Chains A and B, each alone.
With several copies, the nearest count.
Chain A
Amino acid sequence: MSEEVSAEILTTHILDLAAEGKRLDGRGPDEYRSVSIEPGFVATADGSALARIGDTAVLCGIKLEPGKPFPDTPNAGVLTTNAELVPLSSPVFEPGPPQPGAIEVSRVVDRAIRAAETIDLTRLCVTPSEKSWVCYVDMHALGHAGNLIDTALLSAVSALAHATVPAKRFEVAEADYPLEVRHFPIECTFVRLGDTIAVDPTFDEERAAQGRLTVATDETGQIVAMQKGLVGAFSPDDVKDVARRAFVHGDRLRGLARGGGSA
């Protein structure tokens, strides 16, 4: 039986289950897989965290280096986000330049971090127009079993929350100091499976999905970013409903992003 045919049979099965409110791994439509975060995984980084949702794992490492502000934002530091969906993490990723999927993950995570004002970029400015910190947020996939976006943002926010500005090493200040994180955006991703909209899709559910919707919320009750992906559609009411659910999950996961641990 070819890969294509077996994927199609699995899709039909997932949709049939969804019609009864069930999922292949026994979860309900509004249930996440187990989530865990291990901050400080990488000693060579200025901050790091390994986030896992089920068998999906993303390791984020933060590096801070002195650089120059962009001409149009002379009073701000620079934030650079990159996701490497390396072929080690899934049979569907190939070596070579970043594919659209990897670029989408980078950009969606980047928007959530930026829109939520997770870190105050003006505090990364050393001398206006002259010198500022460049903060690299590098996310490295170590396992792709669905829902990379949520996992990636969890790893990034946690890594930022545990990062140190290496001011002494680069002779910018007398001592290193913690990077201040002001907000904790959490992304929650949903997929349409027939009439059901299920949270935290697995790899197979993403393949079966008739649309994907990600909503990022912060701890002040604001929606800070959204991204519809894949082929499929959502009604405005779907979107409102998904946003409501994203707040509930977001509040629960935010504790992990702050302190690490598992839930």
Chain B
Amino acid sequence: MGSVGAKEVPVLLSPEGLRIDGRRLDELRPIRIQAGALRQADGSAFVEWGANKVMAAVYGPREVHPRHLQQNNKAVIQCRYNMAAFSVDERKRPGLDRRSQEISKVIAEAFESVVFAEEFPRTSIDVYIEVLQANAGTRCAGLVAASVALADAGIPMVDLLPAVAVGKVGGAIALDLKKEEDNFGEADLPMALVPQSGRLVLLQMEGHMSPEELAQSLDLGVRGCREIYEKMKQALRERYALTPAAGGAA
């Protein structure tokens, strides 16, 4: 999407309808989810998704910092999505830029839509997402990791929150864009689904899509989310099959 005035644009779709990495249009990148990756946190997860590596940790319910954010009738959910300086091609200055702050906000709002926050008045549930290696789709990978971490922390929720981005590359709607597709594609549409209700709690979009393409994208994204949902549940099952806190990020 940031390609205006860029040097050269690659071919994103082969005549056979295969993508730059050989995937079909409706195919996810490989995804590996490890619940309980950090011993210090109340809940945690490590996600490798294509060439993304994302760690998430949950602390809480605990005291609210800063104090004036405390709410009398429910927990506040604070999210901090952060990218490591070395996670992208050009070194990123440490600290939260505007993009990270916006993503932190929409992820927090997504979780507020499913967590039973009124069970923990006057507390904070802090969700931390660290992107260690980025290759498009980090907000979705972060959401998936954080959602598993919340479950690992025992925070009661309506449901897990699978997430995936759909996009448009070479004129076709495609699932789960990787970096080159995201950079040079025509549209990007990340979403997060509540599987139980079939509703979306995160939805953003940028690019060009007709109403028909939007409809097609939403359908494809929902299917992708349901596929990821199974992997999330599997990761949590594995976590509790193991002896507690086996640890190890990698």
A residues bordering B, Cβ < 8 Å? 38, 41-45, 48, 50, 55, 57, 59, 61-63, 65, 69, 72-77, 82, 84, 86-91, 94-95, 97-98, 100-101, 103-104, 106-107, 111, 114-115, 117, 121-122, 125, 136, 138, 140, 142-145, 211, 213, 221-236, 238-240, 243-244, 247
Contacts and interface: CB of A to CB of B under 8 A. Distances in A.
A174 B132 CA distance: 29
B113 to A, nearest CB: 5
A9 to B, nearest CB: 15
Interface of B: 1-7, 38-41, 51, 53, 55-57, 59, 62, 65, 80, 82, 84-91, 94-95, 98-99, 101-102, 104-106, 109, 112-113, 126, 128-130, 132-135, 189, 194, 197-211, 214-215, 218-219, 222, 247, 249-250
Nearest to B129: A88
Q: Is the interface of A mostly helix, strand, loop or mixed?
A: mixed
B49 to A, nearest CB: 14
- Which of B80, B84, B128, B218 gathers most chain A CB within 10 Å? B84
Given A44-B133, A61-B86, A227-B106, 4 more contacts: A44-B87, A89-B57, A107-B98, A140-B130
A221 B208 CA distance: 9
A41 B248 CA distance: 13
A47 to B, nearest CB: 9
A229 B203 CA distance: 8
Given A42-B132, A50-B249, A228-B204, A88 B38 contact: yes
Contact of A145 (B39, B113, B126): B39
Contacts of B55: 88, 142
A103 B101 contact: yes
A97 B198 CA distance: 37
B199 A235 contact: yes
B208 A86 contact: no
13 contacts: A43-B51, A50-B250, A72-B2, A72-B90, A76-B4, A82-B85, A88-B41, A91-B59, A107-B102, A138-B91, A144-B40, A222-B208, A223-B211
